[in-house]
Amino acid sequence: MHRLTSKTQITVIGGIDTHTDFHQAAVIDTVGRHLATESFETTDDGYLQLLEWLASHGDVLAVGMEGTGSYGAELARFLRGNGLTVVEVDRPDRKARRANGKSDPVDAYAAATAVLSGRATGTPRTRDGIVEAIRVLRVVRNSAVKARTQVINQIRTLMVSAPGEVRDKLRGLPTKALIDTLARSRPTGRPDDPAYAVKIALRRLARRYQALDEEIKDAEAETGPLVTQAAPRLVALPGAGPETAGQLLETAGDNPQRLRSEASFAHLCGSSPISASSGRTHRHRLNRSGDRQANKALHTIVLVRMKYHLRTQEYVARRTTEGMSKMEIIRCLKRFAAREIYRHLPRPQLTTEQLCPTT
């Protein structure tokens, strides 16, 4: 790590619009004057050139960047490793783009001004620890789950239009028995017979379902121990498991300390209530923002607790007596779960240098 300064000693702010093959960078001073714009390749040499280019304009206060979790992930790691503060910048909304136009230099300049004005203050996820490993492995599991769902839907769709001799033998079977029956089948007949073709198609889909099922089990066997290692107290919470805990860890990232409070975590998960009061009516409505997958994980935890957790069941009964609807109760429980989970997120240990910084 080295100190980035220049002979002029002015303070500047960088802005970067990230892409697949190149990144567009802009530099402004502390009063918002545009100093320079340049593009750099997304290679190790390009990252070094971008770093030196930023430092050549002054003492870099911070760098605002779009796409820190996708195209700019590696650049964000590189800049942080060289002592720069990286600020996550949301992409401009449609209204702003209609007013100011759309181009890479414009977006890079907008990222820098967002940091200067204070509109962008978010700390991006570091993506360099065990939680990032969990996220990558969960990508494979989630895609396999989606593909398996698609396969069973295709099987049931084929069964609807299949000849009676095929449909009658399979009607009413639960999913596991249906898949096992189809996978073991040995169709006979002529290739031009529709009934034979349906039997062949159903057997192939059933075997694909079984292959995907094994892939999901293998993925869960890999991610489960990692989730437990990363956050054993989180997995031990009532209603939580490796899958829901893994999603919540992924949402918080390897640096959950970037979340300033449990309220910010609840907002990130879309479980913070939004006021919907009017006149003499005082109520809150569902928050549809935030990470929807994290919100789904909280919802799953709450449903499990409502079914098996005694304290939750007592709370539901009390709130129901008070006149609250089931959905309002679930929203309250999700907010409580977010508060509880925040307290059990892993916190990285501070180093001696962080505890006792040198002057």
User: Which residue type occupies 84?
Assistant: L
Tens-digit pLDDT profile for residues 294-333: 999 999 999 999 999 999 999 999 999 999 999 989 989 9
**How many domains does the chain contain in total?**
3
Residues 138 and 84 in one domain: no
- Do 179 and 273 have their domain in common? no
How high is the pLDDT of residue 1? Answer: 47
What is the per-residue pLDDT for 356?
Answer: 45
Claim to verify: residue 112 and residue 17 sit in the same structural domain: yes
Residues 61 and 43 in one domain: yes
Q: Are residues 266 and 317 in the same domain?
A: yes
Q: What is the DSSP string of 184-252?
A: H----S-TT-HHHHHHHHHHHHHHHHHHHHHHHHHHHHHHHHHHHHH-HHHHTSTT--HHHHHHHHHHH
Considering the domain boundaries, does residue 5 fall inside one? no
C-beta separation of 216 from 145 below 8 A? yes
pTM of the complete model:
0.80
Residue 124, in any domain of the structure = no
| Residue 205 lies in domain | 130-230
209 and 250 share one domain: no
**107 domain-assigned:** yes
Same domain for 206 and 297: no
- Separation CA 25–CA 35 (nearest Å): 11
Final residue in a domain of this structure, among 195, 230, 265: 230
Q: Is residue 262 part of a domain?
A: yes
Answer yes or no: do 269 and 335 share one domain. yes
The answer to whether position 123 is within a domain reads no
Q: How many residues does the chain have?
A: 359
CB 63 within 8 A of CB 85: yes
Place of tokens 């029956």: 181
At which of 175, 209, 230 does a domain end?
Answer: 230
Which CATH number does the domain housing residue 24 bear? 3.30.420.40
pLDDT tens for 250-288 read: 999 999 988 889 999 999 999 887 777 777 777 766 777
Cβ-Cβ contacts under 8 Å for 343 (sequence gap 6 or more) = 262
Distance set, CA 151 to CA 55, 74, 157, 179, 200 (Å) = 54, 36, 10, 11, 14
Residue 348 inside a domain? The answer is no
DSSP annotation string for 81-145: HTTPPEEE-PPPPHHHHHHH---HHHHHHHHHHHHHHTS--BPPP---SHHHHHHHHHHHHHHHH
Q: Is 354's pLDDT higher than 50?
A: no
pLDDT at 37: 94
Who wins on pLDDT, 353 or 20?
A: 20
